[in-house]
Chain A
Amino acid sequence: MNPEKVVFGFFIVLALTLNFGFVLGDIDNPAHHHKWELFAVIVVNLIATVLKFGDRSQVGALLLATSLVAMLQLTAAALVWIVAVYATADGLAAGTMASIVSLTAGAMIANVISVILLVIETFLLRR
């Protein structure tokens, strides 16, 4: 067992599960989507991105790309949240919540691809 692989897999899967947890619920209901969850998703995704640095293989490059996409979506979601809360009079309206959740849902797709790639790579190595 390679400890590096364990840590690597742990963060990638955790990024997906947290992401899924945040997205779960009514899309426009702020009560179903907690800010702590988004924070955790962003931090875990950041770490997962950095962990993917420096892998020269083709799969490594693809993994890094999916992570970068996820980070882009999550950053956008966080920015929308911040702007809504601090810079608009309405606060966190239902429409804003919907766009935040849809952005994070996009990030989740990227995370799903990430996990699929990880699984494929593992299988290839086994064989």
Chain B
Amino acid sequence: MYETFEHIADIGVRGYGKTMEESFCNCAKAFFSIMFENFDEFEPENTIELEVESVSYEGLLVKWLNKLLAVSEIEGMVFSEFEITIHGFGIKSRAKGVFSNKHSFISGTGIKGATFCEAKVIKTDDKFISQCVVDV
């Protein structure tokens, strides 16, 4: 499950999951849902592998989202499915999606970057919550 949340001028993205990995993947879905309203409408055709490292889980989330943003722009892809493993403060991930010029995407709001504002990775009794504010 994912959602967006309030910020005075920008937008927050939040993902929930039974594992930290699942919450990161759902946070990435919230991220792409801001840019393309129908980001998950098309069956993925391509996969990109990405690895990032940081010094904290919050840093890892922000860095991974920013890497996804950069790669999606460079490759001209819209990602909708994610597989990740987290070891320490490192991520190995596979982002799956389609080329944006081959499909009709409904344009949303462009994201300039994922930020550390409200960046949190929390474990509750039964789930993980991962979130941050994105600058739009």
Chain A complexes with chain B: no
